[in-house]
Structure 1
Amino acid sequence: MLYVAGVIIVFVGIALSIALHEIGHLVPAKRFGVRVPQYMVGFGPTVWSRRRGETEYGVKAIPLGGYIRMIGMFPPKAGDEPGQVRTSSTGRFSQLADEARAQSFEELRPGDEHRLFYRLSVPKKITVMMGGPLMNLLIAFVLFTGIFTLYGTMQATSTISGVSECVDTTRVGQTAAQECTPDMPAAPANEAGLRPGDTITAINGTPMSSWEEIRAAIRDSAGREMTMVVERAGRSETLTATPIRLQQPVLDDVGGYERTATGEYVTEEVGFLGASPTAERVTQPVTAVPGLFGDMLARTFGVVLEIPQKMVGVYQAAFGGQERDPEGPMSVVGVGRVAGEVASSEEFGTPTEKLMMIVSLLASLNLMLFAFNMLPLLPLDGGHVAGAAWEGLKKTWARVRGLPEPAPVDVAKALPLAYTVAMAFIVMTGLLIYADVVKPIRLL
């Protein structure tokens, strides 16, 4: 029952995110006078619809996106009037563009000549097309702000939670607890006498105020003796340790581990002590939210740019014996499974902790939708924004040179590329759904 509840919560959240994304397009389009015949959440057969004014609002059967239909999305060819489309015989690509132009004028009515999208100024076009992604960004910001300020974030502290007895030099990504064998060397932290509950206050005479500083000092001290001042039971003690040289994952800009397309760690030789920090949940002030959110946004763009290479790992996991990268892409099926696992398993803590994990998942999805839609490729919103920006550059150049104003940029000419990109997205979505069924990402 809890599993189903988690799936329902996340799917309702996704549906609302899609609906609000399309409202982000709809409101400015109507504000600028563009006629919008249709607003739909989903694709495929219509499940429910109702007309309000000049717009039909509805829900379709496949909840994998949504759209609004604006009249006059593409300009007519030079010499044509709005709604007039001359069929080109120069090739299949030109015919595709002509068909798209014809469809964009299908619902043209008398008096609509000045309500066409392509007639908008460049700033208004960009505002309409940016409205959807910015709505997802706003949703993510509101959700993460609530999580950061009301619930808090887990932060590693300077207090030690566990100390390894030994070091498995063949394993990457060491933790503070493992089984030892006679051929494993003793952990430097254990040899130095570091204990759980100790708080490291200084290393080599430099005060330490965070685990990030401590970790950096340890990693930089590979094979070299270092002194640590620790606070233990209200007293200060000085310990000496020599971090062992070990292959460890490379840290990215936000403290995570870098991975290859197949999910393997990117490693480097650094110092390893064999001690783990205590984690505490700390609520953040509102002033810290922009920095935290900016870091997450930057990391999300990095993830989006890595999707093509990560799909290699997804394919190998789906059709081979490799494991799925836990930080790799998922389909809505995978997201639903993760939400169900979180809601139903006691391993994820209290009901409040589970709810916050699901809310964080929805916030991350909205952040991903923003970053993904900003790619300058048709049919994504970023592709239309790029077309409008190019039109603005052309008009500015003509104005500076004293030339006649150029015609609107004919985005329809890029439709063959848009169809190719759309087909690639469909294949990618199909592969992700298949992988999430046969080789899902598991949190436990």
Structure 2
Amino acid sequence: MVAYVFGIVLFALGIGVSVALHEFGHLLTAKAFGMKVTRYFIGFGPRLWSFRRGETEYGLKAIPAGGFCEIVGMTALEQVPEADSPRAFYRKPVWQRVIVLCAGSVTHFILGFVILYFMAVSMGLPNLQDKPVVGEVSQCAPATQDPRTFQYSPCGPNDPAPARNAGIKPGDLIVSVAGRPTPTYTDVVNVTRQASGPTPFVVERGGQRLTLIVDVAKVQRVTDLNARPGQNNKLATVSAVGLANTTMFHYGAVGALGGATRFTGDMFAGAWTGLKQLPSKIPPLIKAIGGGQRDLNSPVSVVGATRIGGEAAEQGLWPLFVLLLANLNFFIGVFNLLPLLPLDGGHVAVNLYEKVRDSVRRLWGKPAGGPVDYTKLLPLTYAVIFVGGAVVLLTVTADIVNPIRVFGQ
């Protein structure tokens, strides 16, 4: 329990640091371009503590649910003192405004990359793409498996060792088995289980491709995907070669730059995919609130993510803890750039619209148009707030009444 509470507190602290750095990104770029920043606060509601340095007040507020960086003249509709007018946000070039608006999300991306880099050089990066990179070559392909505990039988003197005898080595990338491409380790397993006797395995090693003939063995295994330890599971005859996939990729200080960069790309793709799939996952989430089974891939709130972080710490699964924190940063960064008000991406869209509109007007010999009237966008803004608030409420409710059970607790 102590480890669980410690994990929750530590994860919540990580989220707080992420929020603080998000707003600091806005603050730093705004001041760099000469804009006037009057307040920088973490949290909302009543002020707990603050101090003033120069023209900016820094502080904490009672409700730890975000933060804000107050820049003078965020829109042309804002009343700005005459003395501050040259330093107002809307008086600056569009490219400077866009940089300031994007700085929060960019800070999340940088933070996520830094987390992944230090993860790569310390504990390694997980093989989330299921790449078929050999992690271990067994002394044999165990002849059988305990149907209740799933433990493999010990290697005997007569047990075959197909992968070892064929010369497969840890680090080999399995390109194909029996002439069939194997982009994932799951493909390797599925194709191998259908093979028998001498079978060509094409592996990539040191930039070269080698064809190794593996004498695939017949063994007894639990094949039911729904099988659980402790049950009276059945064994089936399948083919095996005696190797295991890499679960974590480890890097040195230099190699970690490339590893973290590639993993960052994967996480960007995952965040975007998650956003596109979000609408289709709302109905199952509502069913889960009513008592239905909660999908492991269903949306989670900050409450749910923090709880999973606590469980990961309790189980000693720190790679999961760190990865979850990095993923949260990437997701928030991508989400915040959606071209919808009141998100930063919505403000970016408005500013870019003004720039494109004025460029077109100049081509037609017309003067620049006036600033966008944000009051006319209020209905759309309120709709986004309503939908976003409803989703947050649903996820928080689901995370309380029917939380995701990552560890089957």
TM-score grouping bracket, smaller chain normalisation: 0.7 to 0.9
Q: Which residue of 1 aligns with 2:394?
A: 431
For residues 146 and 103 of structure 2, the distance between their equivalents in structure 1, rounded to whole angstroms, comes to 49
Query: Displacement, 1:223?
Result: 7.5
Mapping of residues 32-47 of structure 1, within 5 Å: 32-47=33-48
Query: Over aligned residue pairs, what C-alpha RMSD do you find?
Result: 3.6
Equivalent positions of 1:335-346 (< 5 A) are 335-345=305-315
Aligned to 1:151: 123
Amino acid at match of 1:143: I
Structure 1 letter corresponding to 2:365? G
Counterpart of 2:215? 238
Structure 2 partner of 1:24: 25
Distance 1:292 1:123, change over 3 A: same
State the one-letter code of the partner of 1:323: Q
Matches within 5 A, 1:400-411: 400-411=363-374
Compute the displacement of 1:433 (Å). 1.4
The answer for the alignment partner of 1:399 in structure 2 is 362
Listed as ranges, the matches of 1:59-98 within 5 Å are 59-76=60-77
Distance between the aligned counterparts of 1:147 and 1:439, measured in 2?
A: 31
Q: CA deviation at 1:117?
A: 1.6
CA–CA distance in structure 2, aligned partners of residues 149 and 72 of structure 1: 44
- Determine whether 1:282 maps to 2:221: no
How do residues 136-215 of structure 1 correspond to structure 2 at under 5 angstroms?
Answer: 136-155=108-127, 157-158=133-134, 198=163, 212=183, 215=186
CA distance in 1, matches of 2:238, 2:358: 61
The CA distance in 1 between the partners of 2:72 and 2:353, in whole Å, is 21
In structure 2, the residue matched to 1:313 is 284
C-alpha separation in 1, matches of 2:331 and 2:99: 20
For residues 273 and 373 of structure 1, the distance between their equivalents in structure 2, rounded to whole angstroms, comes to 49
Structure 1 regions of 5+ residues with no counterpart?
A: 77-103, 167-175, 181-192, 249-271, 349-353
User: Who is 2:379 aligned against?
Assistant: 416
Q: Which amino acid aligns with 2:306?
A: G
How far has the Cα of 1:226 moved from its partner?
A: 8.6
C-alpha offsets along residues 173-210 of structure 1, whole Å, 9 cap, x if unaligned?
A: xxx98669xxxxxxxxxxxx9978845858666599xx
Q: What's the offset of the Cα at 1:38? A: 1.7
Equivalent residue, structure 2, for 1:79: none
Q: Deviations over 1:61-102 (max 9, x none)?
A: 2222111222222223xxxxxxxxxxxxxxxxxxxxxxxxxx
**Unmatched 5+ residue regions in structure 2?**
150-157, 169-173, 203-211, 226-236
SS class of match (2:34): coil
Partners of 2:146 and 2:362 in 1: CA distance: 69
The alpha carbon displacement at 1:215 in A equals 4.1
CA distance in structure 2 between the aligned counterparts of 1:37 and 1:226, rounded to whole angstroms: 75
Q: Could you say what secondary structure the match of 1:337 adopts?
A: helix
Checking the alignment, whether the CA contact within 8 Å between 1:230 and 1:239 is kept in structure 2 is no
How many Å apart are 1:14 and its aligned residue? 0.6
2:338 maps to: 375
8 Å CA contact 2:163–2:214 kept in 1: the answer is no
Can you list the C-alpha shifts for 1:239-279, whole angstroms capped at 9, x where unaligned? 388xxxx999xxxxxxxxxxxxxxxxxxxxxxx96768343
Would the aligned equivalents of 1:387 and 1:411 in 2 still touch at CA under 8 Å? no
Q: May I ask how many residue pairs the two structures share in their alignment?
A: 354
- The one-letter code matched in structure 2 to 1:291 is R
Change (3 A) 1:220 1:369: same
2:61 & 2:366 partners in 1: Cα distance? Answer: 47
SS of 2:260's equivalent in the other structure is helix
Deviation, 1:136, is 0.5
Give the residue type in structure 1 aligned to 2:296: P
Aligned equivalents of 1:424 and 1:290: distance in 2?
34
Query: SS of 1:113's equivalent?
Result: helix
Flag the 1:222–1:273 CA change in 2: closer, same or farther, 3 A: closer
| Separation of aligned partners in 2, 1:197 and 1:62 | 61
Is contact 1:164–1:177 with CA below 8 Å preserved after alignment?
no
**CA–CA distance in structure 1, aligned partners of residues 381 and 213 of structure 2:** 65
Letter in 2 for 1:427: A
With over 3 angstroms needed to count, the CA separation of the structure-2 counterparts of 1:237 and 1:115, relative to structure 1, is closer
Cα distance in 1 for partners of 2:238, 2:63 equals: 52
Whether the aligned pair in 1 keeps the contact of 2:289 and 2:397 (CA below 8 Å) is yes
Q: Name 2:85's counterpart in structure 1.
A: 113
- Name the % identity: 32
The TM-score normalised by the length of structure 2 is 0.75
- Residue aligning to 1:356: 319
Corresponding residue of 1:127: 99
The change in CA–CA distance for 1:127 and 1:194 in structure 2 (over 3 A counts) is farther
Q: What does residue 328 of structure 1 align with? A: 298
Q: Secondary structure at the match of 1:114?
A: helix
Letter in 2 for 1:119: R
Distance 1:338 1:398, change over 3 A: same
Give CA deviations for 1:341-380 in whole Å, capped at 9, x if unaligned.
12223xx4xxxxx333322221111111111101110011
* Counterparts in 2 of 1:118 and 1:160: CA distance versus 1, 3 Å: same
Tell me the secondary structure at the aligned position of residue 83 of structure 2.
Answer: coil
Q: Residue 267 of structure 2 aligns with which residue?
A: 296
Residue of structure 2 equivalent to 1:5: 6
Distance 1:224 1:207, change over 3 A: closer
Amino acid at match of 2:277: E
Q: Separation in 2 of the partners of 1:160 and 1:315?
A: 45
- TM-superposed CA distance for 1:10, in Å, is 0.7
